[in-house]
Amino acid sequence: MRILLYAGKGGVGKTCVAGATGIITAQMGLKTLVMSLDPAHSLSDAFDLDRSLMDKNRGQPIEAGDKLWVQELDVHEEINNYWSEIHSYISVLLNTSGIDDVLAEELAVFPGMEELSALLYINKYVNEQTYDLIILDCAPTAESIRFISMPTALEWYMKKVFRLERKIFGVMRPVARRMVDIPLPEDEYFANIESLYNRLKGVDQLLTDPDVTSVRLVTNPEKMVLRETQRAFMFFSLHQTAIDAIIINRVFPPGLNDDYLKVWGNNQQKYMDLAEVYFNPLPIFKAPLYESEILGYERLFEFGRNLYQGKDPTQIFFKQIPYQFAKIDGQSLVKLHLPFISKEEIDLSKIGDELIIKIGNFKKNIVLPRAYAVMEPRKARLEEDYLLIEFGGSSEQGQERGEG
């Protein structure tokens, strides 16, 4: 069983990459599901599927080819299936505050419902062994990070807050009814949350198991897009999710004769070279820019063949986690897998929120989380094949001492 996440900035072509990958794997004989996690679904459009068929089977998998299904979640359908008590309470609460019924119904679809619904399906499909491969066409970066972090956040809430909150409301409810007209959640509300939590058990292990789940970051050879890809890389690394490849989409073909396009091509090459610096040693796949939209099964299949060049998309292209952020004995550390180096070869510097590591001709730029960005690298040590960089103090203190 494999799960592949295609994530990145909005508009980089994740849907085409996910759909094309699904076609390749289905033709290899694997039962494949391509699921859209983006509220603004475009998966059915990429496959050029009949919209009436999608409307008839709202939120359910639709056959898009031999051994291939696509699924666009419908959050309103999922509310009926899983969220009825939670949604009802939030709707009543909003309605009590003066918001009209229709608007209250819409506002009660709060952020996270779609992601949790997707996780419920993934857990169900894995437990029932419905498919050999699940491909996730992720929403733009921020929503993708929320999707990955949801199981951990929910587990923390259930273990630290849920039981106490349920008891407190159980005691307060009879008193509150006599004193205020704001409804408190009934026990069915908490039972609904508990039921969802039980259905999700185990999904966090799936998402962080490098033998099962791989993230592939889709980007374009442009400065702003590449910068966001760096941030996405950092956030997925924070969540201990294995990234096994980078896909650079919409690359101009070589040998352009037009002067205007040559300038674009040269700029793209500069950013592709930069991507090699940023993401080394991960493999980088490149997909050409097509002269027209990639729509329909055949066009997606052609795109997939050009992208993977005969490679099996389900293989793990890179397994070793390149770097991790950790706290060990109260120390904030960045831990990098850098075998076969000596301490004398290492040159460290920090500019803004980037840590820059130079080892001979090798250069690595790491975008730091906010907690690390305000500190300075203080010490570095080698332990077996790992470089451990200790952070402390603050950037302001480092500048006063002339460090950086």
pLDDT at 395: 56
Task: Evaluate if residue 402 carries a pLDDT over 50.
Answer: no
Residues 269 and 131 reside in one and the same domain: yes
Task: Evaluate if residue 93 carries a pLDDT over 80.
Answer: no
Nearest to 357 by CA among 385, 336, 386: 336
Answer yes or no: are the C-beta atoms of 283 and 318 closer than 8 Å: yes
Q: Are strands 243-251 and 284-288 parallel, antiparallel or unpaired?
A: parallel
Chain Cα centroid distance, residue 79: 23
Q: Is residue 184 part of a domain?
A: no
Residues 269 and 382 reside in one and the same domain: no
Q: Which domain holds residue 343?
A: 323-400
Residues 52 and 144 reside in one and the same domain: yes
When pLDDT is cut at 50, 70 and 90, the band that residue 403 belongs to is: very low
pLDDT at 17: 98
Task: Evaluate if residue 334 carries a pLDDT over 80.
Answer: yes
Each residue of 137-154: pLDDT tens digit? 998 888 888 888 888 888
pLDDT at 43: 92
Q: Is residue 164 part of a domain?
A: no
The CATH number for 335's domain is 2.60.40.790
Length of the chain: 404
How many structural domains are present in the chain? 2
Residues 335 and 276 reside in one and the same domain: no
Average of per-residue pLDDT across 58-80: 89
Task: Evaluate if residue 399 carries a pLDDT over 60.
Answer: no
Q: Is residue 241 part of a domain?
A: yes
Residues 7 and 123 reside in one and the same domain: yes
Q: Half-sphere exposure of residue 219, counting CA atoms within 13 Å on the CB side? A: 29
Angstrom distance (rounded) from CA 238 to CA 27: 35
When pLDDT is cut at 50, 70 and 90, the band that residue 31 belongs to is: very high
Residues 209 and 65 reside in one and the same domain: yes
Angstrom distance (rounded) from CA 274 to CA 29: 37
Q: Is residue 15 part of a domain?
A: yes
Residues 392 and 279 reside in one and the same domain: no
Report the predicted TM-score, pTM, of the whole model to 2 decimal places.
0.82
pLDDT at 270: 95
Average of per-residue pLDDT across 211-218: 96
CB atoms within 10 A of CB 291: 6
Each residue of 242-274: pLDDT tens digit? 999 999 999 998 888 888 989 999 999 999 999
Angstrom distance (rounded) from CA 38 to CA 18: 12
The CATH number for 244's domain is 3.40.50.300
Residues 143 and 266 reside in one and the same domain: yes
Residues 296 and 384 reside in one and the same domain: no
Average of per-residue pLDDT across 13-29: 97
Q: Is the peptide bond before 281 cis (omega within 30 degrees of 0)?
A: yes
Q: State which of 278, 308, 338 marks the end of a domain.
A: 308
Residues 361 and 274 reside in one and the same domain: no
List the end-to-end C-alpha distance of the chain, in Å, as a whole number: 46
